[in-house]
């Protein structure tokens, strides 16, 4: 089973799914969302913009990366609103950055 992770702000109870952790031995090299034929997260402009906006909005709140292997994940983060999620009231990645001055939809 592969390890997935989320970047979360406990103050605002919001998270971003970072995808699967791609590791070299025990060290995470990068995260990858979606199928293996899709761009790696570092090469995906939309995901990068979402991360930068999330850090701008929540960085001073004490954001943290949670692994789905982390015992605190189910207790704390699993119920947070997910940016890019498909739940009721959740916003898509594209909508999250649509009116943000830090990125252009181009």
Residue 4 near residue 13, CB atoms below 8 Å:
no
pLDDT tens by residue, 8-26: 999 999 999 998 888 888 7
How do residues 28-76 score in pLDDT, each as one tens digit?
888 888 776 777 887 888 898 999 999 999 999 989 999 888 887 878 8
pTM of the model: 0.84
Q: Domain-by-domain residue ranges, the chain?
A: 4-97
φ/ψ of 73, rounded to 5, equals -60, -55
| Residue with token string 């999250």 | 96
């Amino acid at each position: 089973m592969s390890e997935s992770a989320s970047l979360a702000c406990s103050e605002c109870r919001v998270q971003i799914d970072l995808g699967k952790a791609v590791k070299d031995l025990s060290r995470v090299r990068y995260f990858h969302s979606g199928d293996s034929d899709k761009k790696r997260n570092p090469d995906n402009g939309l995901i990068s913009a979402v991360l930068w906006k999330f850090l701008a909005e929540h960085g001073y709140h004490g954001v943290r990366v949670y692994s789905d292997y982390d015992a605190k994940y189910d207790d704390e983060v699993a119920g947070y609103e997910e940016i890019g999620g498909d739940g009721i009231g959740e916003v898509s990645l594209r909508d999250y950055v649509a009116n943000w001055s830090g990125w252009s939809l181009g």
